[in-house]
Each structure stands twice: as C-alpha cells, then as structure tokens.
Structure 1
C-alpha cells in the first residue's frame, strides 16, 4: 500500500470518528442550555409525583409495592444489559443512557402522558360517548401521547448531546432506554394498583398476577415501540451522519404507534374467549419482534460502516487481520462463523475474545481520535496476545482511561 493510500484511509478513519461521535463523553450539567432546564423540571416533577403516589399508598400496600419493585428491578436490569449489549458499535456513554431512562420513567410517564391520556380520553368521551371511550380510549390515546412524550425526550437528548446522537441507530438505542424507563416505572404502578384490589386482601398474589403478565410481554412493549419511534424520528429530522428520509421516518413512527394501539386495544379484538386472547397476544408479539429485528438490521448498517472505516488502517498495517475485521463489522451470523472456525473449544473461545479485543481497539482509537497513544498500543497488543493465546505479561499493564 502506498503512502498516499495509507494517508487516505487514516483521513477516512478520522472522518468516521467525527461523524459517528464514537468515543465522545456526555456532559449532563449544561446550565446555559435551555434543554437542560426543561429536562430537569419535567423529570423532577414526574419523580415527585411518583414518589408522592408511592408514599400515599405505602402504608396500606407496602408488600405489593416492595414485591413489584424488586421483581421489576431485576427484570429492568436484564433488559438494560441486553439493550446495552446490542449497542456494539459507537457505544453511547452510560450517563446518557441513565438520562434517557429517567426521562422515560418519570417525565414522559408522570409529568406528561398521564395528564395527556386523561384529557384525550375525556375528549373522546364527549365526542363519541362514554362507552366508546371506555372501550377504545386507551388504544387511541396512549400511542399518540406516550410515544410523543418519549420522543420529546430524544429531542432533548439531541439538544444536550448533538455530537452523540448522529444516526438512526443512536435513536434506536436511546429510544429503547427511553421506553425501558417508561415501562419499568409504569409496571411498578400497575403492580401497586393490582395490590389495592380487594381492598388490599391478598395483595401480593394480586400484584404477582400483573407482574407475571407484564414480564412475559414486556420485551415487546414500550422498549420496542420507542426504539422504532425514535429511529423513525431521526430519519424524519435527519442528522449529520444520517440523511433525512421523511417517508422511512413516518413509516417507523406510524408502525410504533400502530403496534402500541393494537396492544392497548387487544381486549376489544379478543372477545371470543381466552384462546383468542392468547393467540392475539402471541401474534402481536411475533409481528412486533419481526419488525424490530428488521429495523435493527436497517439502522445498524451505518454503524458497521463507521467501524470498518476505523479498523481499515489496522488491517493495512497488519494489527488485525481482514478476517477479524469482517467478523467484527458483520452481523451475528458472521461473528458466530468466525468463532466456530476454531479447531477446538479453546480455540473458539479464544477467537471470541479476539473479537472483543478488536472492539476494544476500535473504542480506544475513537477515544483517542485516531492518534497512537499508550492506550491504543495496549489495545493492539491485546489483540495480538489473544490471537496467539499468550498469557498476560506483567509488563502489559492496562492504560488508565
């Protein structure tokens, strides 16, 4: 490879790091940014409303509240891990994920959607009658009010971190955390309400019934809806690394609202009995999962392009092999094929560690803006060490971040 071509791929790498926002940190406290104060005001007011409701009912329904909160804390942690795990490329800082979760859990839920739902269902009742509003109000209110409230959180995150929210995949991931926050806090409230049934008698058993249903169906709930909605919102708005695609954006936003509305209207479609209700639940969940898998594949392509550009100079210099780069930039099938190419179980496990090290090298290069620093050199050495199956050397100490 000539010097000119080496310089070209180095410049492409720097451009990819800049466009993707990979390696940038997130600063939450921005007193000169109006978006910061809007976020703080609405999130704090929602948190206070939620705490007030818990405080007013805790004495009577403490067991239901504690059981519900404990189960959904574990459940939320599992969903958090999974959602963060699929963000394999220009990973979002943990701080912005926490900010997204809190907006979805408190501002979107308690400070916005709860009021908007009541108002919109009241309007439906005046226009179409109380009985119609009781049957269809939730399905024709929540998709608009709740998804809009969570989507407003993404707009605030763009205003707070314009260099981090660059692609539709960023919107997909942040939307998932906005939806996760909404879902977990809403589920705790539902469990608390169930505990109040029968005047608090058998409150734990009553709450566990709701908990079981929400856990069984939660993976295709708000987390999924808002991931689709926010990916669509990024397409609709356009970002420096994501060209504006109005049709695609409107389609994803509409799909998220449609899935949400179908779920909330399910009781009206399943009047034939318990079998029909279960069948409809399974059908809606299967369709929702198929859609979100397709949208994930659609949005992640840009991220894989960035990763390929960042790793290209490493392939050119021999720091990583082209096979390793293709697997790291590929889908789950490509990564699995790379691991399975090992001669035995130990070799397959080692090849998996090599892929992790390649991603760590990309993280180091992005954090250092493509410059060769001790951190980058250490990451390169780790790739070579793991590829050769050598044990760690005492001289190879991690470089502090």
Structure 2
C-alpha cells in the first residue's frame, strides 16, 4: 500500500517541555497559585450565597454542574485519536472557572466605570457589556490556554489540542459565570429565596446562549494559540498573526453577541439573537473544528496505512476510524450482527488502532528492531470475553513481521490490535466497518436539526412565560 503522508500536525517537543519537567517550570507554580486564589474567592462567594439564598444557590450549582457534564464529554471526545490527560483538562476548566472569572469580575466593573466616566452612564449601560466582555474576558481566557501550553507543552502537539483546551477554559468560565448570574438574578428579583430566577437564567444562559457562548469563543482562540505552538514549519510572524486573528475573532463574535446590534427586543429578541447572532458564528467555528479534526485524522491514519498490513487496519477501517459518526456506525452495525459482544469488540479494536497510530507518530523516524518480532498468532479462536494478555504469543519458526517505527508502546499496541482482531474473528465479524448508508445519515442530520430547533423554540417560549423578556 503506497500513500503520500500528509504534513504532520505533531512536532518534536523541546527538552524543557517534557512532562517530567513541568514541576520545574515557573509557569506551573504561577498557575497553581492563581487557581488556588480563584478557588478561595469562589468559595467565599458560594458561602455568602448559601447564607442569603440556600435553596436557589444549591439549585444553581446542581443545574449548571449537570449542564457541564455533557459539554465536558463532548469536548474531551473531540480528540478521539489522542486523548488528553484528565488532569490537564481539569486544569484548563479550573482556569476558566476560577482564574478567568475572578479577573473578569473586577475587570468588567472597571471597564463599565471607565465608559461611564468618559462617555455617559447610558452608554455604559447599553454598550458596557459589549466592550468589557470581549476585551477582559477573552484575554483572561486566552492566558489560560497559553498557561496550558507553557505548563504541558508535550501535550499540545496539534491545533486540535488547542481547540480542546480552549473549549474547556471557556466552559469553566461559562459555568461559573452562569452560577453567579443566577444568584444575582435572585437578589435582583427581591422576592427572597426563590428558584424561578435560577430556572430562567439556566434556560436563557444555558440552553439559548450556551451553545455559542464562551465554549465556542475559547475553541476559536485555542485553535489560533495551538497553531502558534505547533506549526513550527511556518514562520514566527505567520504563527503569531494567526493566533492574534483567532483571539480577535473570538472577541468579535463575543462583541456581537453582547451588543444591542441586530437585537429585535422583547420576546422576539430571544429568537432574533438565536438565529441572527448565534447560529452563523456557531456554524463557522464548527466547520473550523471539523477541518482541524480531519487534518489530524488524516495524519494519524497515514501512520497505520504506512504499515501496509490489513490485520492492523483495512482501507475501509482507516476511512471509518478517522470520523466519529462512522466509528459509531460501525459499532451499531456490529451490534446488529453480533449483539453487545460484537459492539464491544469493535470499540476495543478502534481504541487500540487509535492508540497504535499515536504511538507510531511519536516514534516517527526511530526504528525499533524489537518490532520485527512476530505478532501474536492464535492457535485457536480466542474467547471474546477472555482477558487480554498482550505480548504473549507463539512465534512460528522462520516467521518475520514487517518492522514498525516506534518504541515499546507501539509494539504493545500493535499486539493489542491483533488480539482484538482475533476476538472479532471469533465472533464472525472480521472488519470494524459498516455499509455506507447515505439515506440514514441524512435522516439523522435532518432529525437532529429538527430536534434542536424544537428545543430552542420550546426554551424561548418558556422564558417568555417566565417573564424573562
């Protein structure tokens, strides 16, 4: 199998950026101190809120805490082929929720006061959020993405990594900010410890504004900063320009969302903001993320394709493995043919293939003589539910195996792929693919759009009924 390898999104990591060096970096201790200080400030706010409005505060924490779970799962799954360390993902979320919010609370107030003094209180009331939010908040969040790069440079090796960490910084900011807004809404309502303002805030800022709010702003800025960090084949000027434009783009979308521009006002304004100010930027950023994901998938799939071994991955499996909806389709197809065990076998094979591709990329250019050892050869069909014993296999006399590039981890995952392949063969399901069904794909997309629009309209009507207009 001959294939031209795409340009690699993964670049050599400098010695100072190795994971074991993180504790020696001043940036690590600065980030730790800032997160600790932010946690203390948030703890004091929650304590005071509980003292004044215990029921409303608890409901706000529960609602927005649960709200964050599917977003976290979606963002973490963006980079299926090279999962990011949970601790680093939590650090990005904590920066957004604890550090960026702490900076923004005081910074936003300062910008509002400055506009009121230099212009007028009316202008500050109308345009203050549009001026303060994009500048103070986006800069504070962008600093969090930069901090992740400085602390764990070895983990940021593609533009998609920047998207993931930027999204989580934005999500952390969004969740904590929404809790603060919900509690403040209770105070402004002046009706005591009531939950209606919390529910209204949850519907407005969670469902209607949440899909194209700080998470997406952070994703755009993260893509630019990731480009700056990893695309070292480009000139420094180009990389800095891309990063600056990405951050400015996030600021611009944030400005449009916060400004009174294009707002219809009244109850209809909810839907005007939704369709005019929200959906177009959402589509643009989703297309950007899609392009970044496909580029990274092409690179990693080329690592498996270069082995030229159909036992590792067939051509159809390479096509499927690089796309989330095709991976899911292959698992559904396996379930239809062989039930739960077949679906699990396909999932395990896909996971092993992905890990092997990553390990091969990390060892690019490093020949591993040990990889010429024969792969596991199964004397009999394995029990699909038996534990995996990677690296334990009979080596037939005189049999050699095409050498691979990489370290011992690549050899272990190569063996794991072959063991999982044996499990699938034992189930009568030799390939982790599914027949192409364009009609079904179109039907799912149309159905998803219909559900989305219905949910948005229902939420908007609920807000109008609650008096949020």
TM-score of the two chains, using structure 1 as the length reference: 0.82
Per-residue deviation, residues 350-395 of structure 1 (Å, max 9, x unmatched): 479536523323315645853354454123211342255269xxxx
Q: 2:297 aligns with which of 291, 296, 304?
A: 304
Per-residue deviation, residues 84-131 of structure 1 (Å, max 9, x unmatched): 122212221111100100011101111x22222122222222222221
* Residue 264 (1) aligns with residue 258 (2): yes
Task: Specify the alignment match of 1:137 in structure 2.
Answer: 128
Task: Specify the alignment match of 1:120 in structure 2.
Answer: 111
**Structure 2 Cα separation of the partners of residues 64 and 29 of structure 1:** 44
Q: Is the 8 A contact 1:232 1:248 kept in 2?
A: yes
Per-residue deviation, residues 168-213 of structure 1 (Å, max 9, x unmatched): 2111111011111111111111111122234352521121111121
**Structure 2 Cα separation of the partners of residues 269 and 17 of structure 1:** 39
Task: Specify the alignment match of 2:41 in structure 1.
Answer: 49
Q: Is the 8 A contact 1:19 1:241 kept in 2?
A: no
**Structure 2 Cα separation of the partners of residues 17 and 249 of structure 1:** 16
Per-residue deviation, residues 204-250 of structure 1 (Å, max 9, x unmatched): 11211111212212121111110011112233455447775455444
Per-residue deviation, residues 115-154 of structure 1 (Å, max 9, x unmatched): 2212222222222222111110111111111111111111
Q: Is the 8 A contact 2:89 2:168 kept in 1?
A: yes
Q: Is the 8 A contact 1:191 1:211 kept in 2?
A: yes
**Structure 2 Cα separation of the partners of residues 201 and 295 of structure 1:** 45
| Alignment: residue pair count | 376
Structure 1 unpaired stretches of 5+: 392-401
Give the drift of 1:165: 0.8
Q: 2:276 aligns with which of 277, 280, 283?
A: 283
Q: How does 1:2-401 map to 2 (within 5 A)?
A: 19=11, 30-110=22-102, 112-201=103-192, 203-216=194-207, 217-236=209-228, 238-240=230-232, 244-246=238-240, 248-266=242-260, 269-270=262-263, 272-316=265-309, 318-329=311-322, 331-332=323-324, 335=327, 345-346=336-337, 350=342, 354=346, 357-364=349-356, 366=358, 369=363, 370=406, 371=408, 373-386=411-424, 389=427
Q: Secondary structure at the match of 2:153?
A: coil
Q: Is the 8 A contact 1:194 1:203 kept in 2?
A: no
**Structure 2 Cα separation of the partners of residues 20 and 113 of structure 1:** 35
Q: Is the 8 A contact 1:166 1:242 kept in 2?
A: no
Asked which structure has the greater CA Rg, the reply is 2
**Structure 1 Cα separation of the partners of residues 58 and 128 of structure 2:** 31
Q: Is the 8 A contact 1:228 1:253 kept in 2?
A: yes
Q: Secondary structure at the match of 2:154?
A: coil
Q: Secondary structure at the match of 2:24?
A: coil
TM-score of the two chains, using structure 2 as the length reference: 0.71
Q: Is the 8 A contact 2:11 2:230 kept in 1?
A: no
Change (3 A) 1:159 1:130: same
Structure with the higher helix share, 1 or 2: 1
Provide the aligned C-alpha RMSD in A: 3.3
